[in-house]
Structure 1
Amino acid sequence: MFATDDTIVAIATPPGPGGIGVVRVSGPSSTGIASIMLRRSTPLKPRHATVTEAVIPDGGKVIDRVVATYFPRPSSYTGEDVVEVSGHGNPVLLRQIVSAAITAGARLAEPGEFTFRAYLNGRIDLVQAEAVADLADAVTPRQARAAFDQLEGTMTLGVEKIDRELFDLISLLEASLDFPEEGYHFVDEQNVASAATALSTQVSQMLANADQGRLLREGCQVAIVGKPNVGKSTLFNSLCGVPRAIVTETAGTTRDLLTEKIDLGGIPIALVDTAGIHETDDPVEAEGVDRAQRAITVAGAVVVVLDGSCPLTNRDYKILEDTKGMRRLVVVSKRDLPCAWAIESEPLVGVAGRVFEACLLSDNQTVLETLRHQLIAVIEDRDNEVHTKVRRDIPAVTNLRHIELLKKTQLALARATSAAISGAAEELVITDLQEARSALEEMLGKRAPDAVIERIFERFCIGK
């Protein structure tokens, strides 16, 4: 995948100008390369910041005044000798420093190559490597927190605990097979079944957080839908916090989809304002209506806006019917006007906690905050029985690869339990338990196929 016996270099800070930029050099020749590209008469002192100058090797012309830090192996980020050169965050200067390192013998790093070396040298496992990319991609504080916890090893600890217990159980069964003539049984069928069931419960507790974890990692598209002139764009602007959509008293102002990325309770949301759904002969309006209806089909959740000052129409009922069964919040607008219908008399409208009544023209922050909380509850599907089983002390499983491998572990444990209860040969039980272990070890990267590893590191940018 990558060469691992040479020395690599890349800019480690994000592209573009900044106050400070960092160039990272990693590999067996890091200190030798540093002695050529830095104006130093003495070697860099380990783990000390040294003020010096980066120079062009073929002539000694100064590129920038920098701070160089040497991190000796094996305690560096990559597990190799690493030199980090911090200078002014001008991309022109940083590229010159990289060129100086290449002239001195380094190779330009590929995307993700520093983290790959950290994984290869045992500094992190594959779950933690994925967390590095997630942390770089995080757009909300809650996303960043989940990625950081994963990087710190919270999920790894849970998986390794299950793996160790599986190893111990397999060892007991194999010991029984090693002494058949003595008739030793270090563990009976009932104990094997109980142990496998207990391990399966631990896996289930991790998977109970999976829906919340994927929602946090991948975000959710939320479509605001309803008839024309019911307050959709006003609601859209209120949730965005800025006047993104044009709002007038004229029906049909919005004719196309308008999307804005927002942070809603730490969940990255793609909020979509749609055209009012109605019958029309205007081809432009008809296209807008068609796009609004398609937005419903691809949304992870919908907000249906109903006008509380007018009786509900067949079109309202059709929208409610089309969104029934989805994660849905019904917003009854224009509650500052006389009420034309009662929520309790309209069973299609929804249930407690899934209906919000307000005057959307209000700038009342308390009202908006209540609306946000209700929408978060709908998006997270807090009424769902699965949500009530979520353990807050267990890290959220945010990655589809992890979810699939945990499910594979769970199935193998279920087979092992059934085999033990039915009195199947110990070899068959061991095979199922070993399959469960293999899935966990693939998750951590101990047995991951090369193709999986390549896919993971393809996500990275140069310098990570």
Structure 2
Amino acid sequence: MENADTIAAIATSPGRGAIGIVRISGKDLGFLALKITGQVPQPRYASLSKFFDENGQLIDQGIMLYFPAPHSYTGEDVLELQGHGGPAVMSLLLSSCVSAGARLAQPGEFTLRAFLNNKMDLAQAEAVADVIDASTDEAARCAMRSLQGVFSAAIHGLVQALTDLRMLVEASLDFPEEDLDIVWRADVSGKLNDIHAQLETVFASARQGSLLREGLWVVLVGKPNVGKSSLLNRLAGEEAAIVTEIPGTTRDTVLRSIEIEGVPLHLLDTAGLRETDDVIEKIGIARTRSAIEKAGLVLLLMDSREGITPEDQAVLDSVPAGVRRIHVYTKSDLLEEVPRIISYQKQGNWQEIYLSAKTGAGVESLRRILLEMAGWNPHMGEGLFMARGRHLVALAEAGGHLKSAAGLAEYGDQLEVLAEELRLAQRWLSSITGEFTADDLLGEIFSRFCIGK
């Protein structure tokens, strides 16, 4: 890809810091470097340099690094100016770059150029943002594996296997007079089964990686004063929510993110559900109901001393049937009973647990159940890679086309349709790495990157 323009951006976080970096990418940056520093940059050599503005006034002194094309992050000439990390200094240095002929970069534009210049594929480009945004150690390691190409290699393996199979089917279309019937059917069916098994393995890893990236949204609901805020504080390990004996203390949602075995969980404490004339509390209750609709998992809290009261049943009935749930009986320390877990398989997966947020009894069991219901498999950790929602959709669509192809392969009399199903499966897989990707999708993906990356 050829770019006529040169882009520049501050590549370090906003605010004060010991070091700040301005990154420039474009063509023939030697002249731009000479205007800003008064020096011709040496490739891959850290030079102590002075940085000047357009009027020749000294801005700062720091390190200049020059990476000539194509051996750079973007595949173009890349110049990095490392100075003192004050906001005013960085702003002046960026302005000097613009005066020298660069323009301000758009969010993600450096990585977009790296993708367009074949320095990385689309899955790896997305992993750059995932490494930056990782909220847990395990998520960071998982994102780095994607950046190193583990996910892409798995996809390329599937695409190559599909390419080989398509060649066999296309040969049968081109030479229908050849007697390929028995051998052809066995070969195609067997290869399809192998490819589908490989795809299922990749899909399982991708779902785990998606969980590490997105986390699970867990909403705590129940009538007032059943211990929602106390449980949130116990799980978060801090006084995140105010706890009193007064019903209706929590009037708005309180969000805290935690991690369990490297899996991020976003806990949302909500206003107690009840009939009320309080205008502010009504707003909080409305937000509670909205949060339930979007939740990945709902914790329905009830006082273990009372069992399921009519008020509790009204809360239970308000939760949509498709939402996964755990029935949590709180304050079990007041019953003087050992906390227990009861598992059910009625109307979908849901469980009951008795615990005490005050003493912590049963809370570790709840953590284990949260991971289990999130779908986390700790035995897959070493081979995981980061994945996004669009990757899961593409893998699912490819799997659907492979399933249709397998049905057609049993008969072998609709070769054109079979060939089309294989082509569509391959196209969906290739969209993950960016071989077949619409421009509007690229714009959506890279617009979410930070500026300077």
Instruction: Give your verdict on TM over 0.5.
Output: yes
Distance in 2 (alpha carbons) for counterparts of 1:62 and 1:188:
75
2:368 counterpart of 1:373: yes
User: Which deviates further from its counterpart, 226-235 or 168-177?
Assistant: 168-177
Residue in structure 2 matched with residue 204 of structure 1 by the alignment: 200
What is the match of residue 10 of structure 1? 9
User: 5 Å matches for 1:161-200?
Assistant: 161-175=157-171, 188-200=184-196
Task: Say if 2:434 is the partner of 1:437.
Answer: no
Shift of 1:257: 2.7
Instruction: Give the whole-Å Cα distance in 2 for the aligned partners of 1:342 and 1:219.
Output: 27
Contact 1:331 1:357 in 2 (8 A): yes
What corresponds to 2:36 in structure 1? 37
Q: 1:272 matched to which residue of 2?
A: 268
Q: Does 1:415 align with 2:425?
A: no
Structure 1 pair 156–358 and aligned structure 2 pair: CA distance change class (3 A): same
Can you give the 5+ residue segments of structure 2 that lack an aligned partner in the other structure? none
1:321-340 matches, within 5 Å, as 321-323=317-319, 326-338=323-335
Normalised by the length of structure 1, the TM-score is 0.85
- Residue deviations 1:198-238 (CA, integer Å, cap 9, x gap): 11222222223454443333333322122322222211222
Q: Distance in 1 between matches of 2:259 and 2:134?
A: 11
Selected match of 1:85 from 81, 86, 108: 81
After superposition, the C-alpha distances for 1:30-85 in whole angstroms (9 at most, x for unaligned) are: 22211221133xx43322222221122432x2211111112222221111121111
Where 1:85 maps in the other structure, the secondary structure is strand
- Is contact 2:27-2:77 (8 Å) kept? yes
Separation in structure 2 between the aligned mates of residue 340 and residue 322 of structure 1, nearest angstrom: 30
- Report if aligned partners of 1:317, 1:348 keep a CA contact under 8 Å in 2: no
Write the letter of the residue equivalent to 1:442: S
1:285 & 1:266 partners in 2: Cα distance? 35
Equivalent in the alignment of 2:53: 56
Once the two structures are superposed, what CA deviation does each residue of 1:8-37 show, in whole Å capped at 9, x if it has no partner? 211111222222111111122222211221
> 2:139 is aligned with what amino acid?
Q
**2:395 maps to which residue?**
406
Separation in 2 of the partners of 1:285 and 1:358? 27
The structure-2 alpha-carbon separation of the partners of 1:425 and 1:330, relative to structure 1 and needing over 3 Å to count, comes to closer
**Deviation sequence 1:396-424 (CA, Å, 0-9, x none):** 56312222222232233223323332122
Residue 236 (structure 1) aligned with residue 232 (structure 2): yes
Query: How high is the TM-score relative to the length of structure 2?
Result: 0.87
1:151 is aligned to 2:150: no
Q: Counterpart amino acid of 2:371?
A: I
One-letter code aligned to 2:405: A
Is residue 462 from structure 1 mapped to residue 419 from structure 2 by the alignment?
no
Alignment check: 8 A CA contact 1:176 1:186 kept = no
1:257 aligns with 2:253: yes
Unaligned runs of 5+ in 1: none
Is 1:197–1:414's contact at 8 Å kept on the other side of the alignment? Answer: no
Aligned in 2, Cα 1:345/1:260: closer, same or farther, shift over 3 Å? Answer: closer
Provide the identity percentage.
Answer: 39
CA distance in 1, matches of 2:287, 2:101: 56
Aligned mates of 2:206, 2:199 — CA distance in 1 = 11
